[in-house]
Structure 1
Amino acid sequence: MKKTVKLCKKPGIKGEEKYCATSLESMVDFSMSTLGKNVQAISTEVEKKTNKLQEYRISGVKKMGGEKSVLCHKLNYAYTVFYCHKLTATKAYVVSLVGVDGTKANAVAACHKDTSAWNSKNLAFQVLKVKPGTVPICRALPMDHVV
């Protein structure tokens, strides 16, 4: 819970508008205040939950909206808290997947085209062995996160 409070109090990175939402209404209000009134909320959906890790194949990709998105990440806390932020040059996609057992999923992915203001110690840079601002970073979002 201390990490959540610290993250919510910390100033955003260059070009980031951020807000810690404690209700669905406040999440919607923040999204509409930064994107306008015509918004659509999407999150990762899985046809059936399974405890085993499996292989998926991509059956389709759909781009959502334009260059602006608000990403809301569920945080650990005693009650619901979402870390919502709008970054410039971020695109959202829905990636349709089919598992080897036939399970279908629509995974939400966010692609950040400009990572130059990100912390160089970010795990994405370590895993991909790249530096901030050199390549776009895309990531799939868990089921309890919203774009």
Structure 2
Amino acid sequence: MPFESEKFSEILKTFGETGSGEAEMMKKTIEECEAKRVGGEEKYCATSLESMVDFSVSKLGKDHVRAVSTEVAEKNAPIQKYKIAAAGVKKLSDDKSVVCHKQKYPFAVFYCHKAMMTSVYSVPLEGENGLRAKAVAVCHKNTSAWNPNHLAFKVLKVKPGTVPVCHFLPETHVVWFSY
């Protein structure tokens, strides 16, 4: 299956998506995958589970590699406020991780990257109604190469490179790390 902008018309014919919102989403995903690296980041768009594993292992080594993602106890529960559960936060990795973000595409595509100076945490959360989640959080300790217009800087009211930026990962994203 082709996955490149040069063959985009062929891809659209395969999925029958010409001129649709889905076609625009597919084009945006391919463009992001083909974009230049930022700040020394090593990246790869995996179009299969095997290629995700291969990339992650190539960056972390084959010994003692683990994959984690956010787990929510009840899938269709309404969005609510969560607080960190009493059990506490656990650091899983420091600078040895590959994060794979699920992309919008008709089949599985993950934007994987090994960014420098990141920490990965497991964070137990508890909702107002007692629902529990095991969230995965990633903290970027060096954001100096990020776009100054990144949403994180606007929300936090800070500038690139001044403070670490941490965020939770959705359930469909995967973090690989050495332990």
TM-score (norm 1): 0.96
Q: Which has the larger radius of gyration?
A: 2
Partner of 1:15: 40
Indicate the SS of the match to 1:127: helix
Whole-Å Cα distance in 2 between the matches of residues 77 and 49 of structure 1? Answer: 22
Residues 1:135 and 2:158 aligned together:
no
Q: Find the partner of 1:40 among 60, 63, 66.
A: 66
Partner of 2:29: 4
Structure 1 residues 25-34 or 60-69, which shifts more? 60-69
| Per-residue Cα deviation, 1:103-124 (whole angstroms, up to 9, x for no partner) | 1100000000000111111110
Q: What fraction of aligned residue pairs are identical, expressed as a percent? A: 61
Partner of 2:9: none
Indicate the SS of the match to 1:34: helix
Residues 1:68 and 2:96 aligned together:
yes
| Per-residue Cα deviation, 1:60-112 (whole angstroms, up to 9, x for no partner) | 21111232211100001121100000011101001001112111100000000
Partner of 1:117: 145
Indicate the SS of the match to 2:44: strand
8 Å contact kept, 2:143–2:162: yes
8 Å contact kept, 2:153–2:159: yes
Matched positions, count: 147
Whole-Å Cα distance in 1 between the matches of residues 94 and 153 of structure 2? Answer: 25
After TM superposition, give the deviation of residue 51 of structure 1 in Å: 4.0
Indicate the SS of the match to 1:30: helix
8 Å contact kept, 2:94–2:117: no
TM-score (norm 2): 0.79
Structure 1 unaligned spans of 5+: none
Partner of 1:88: 116
8 Å contact kept, 2:135–2:168: yes
Whole-Å Cα distance in 1 between the matches of residues 96 and 153 of structure 2? Answer: 23
After TM superposition, give the deviation of residue 39 of structure 1 in Å: 1.1
Indicate the SS of the match to 1:40: strand
What's the C-alpha RMSD, in Å, of the aligned pairs? 1.0
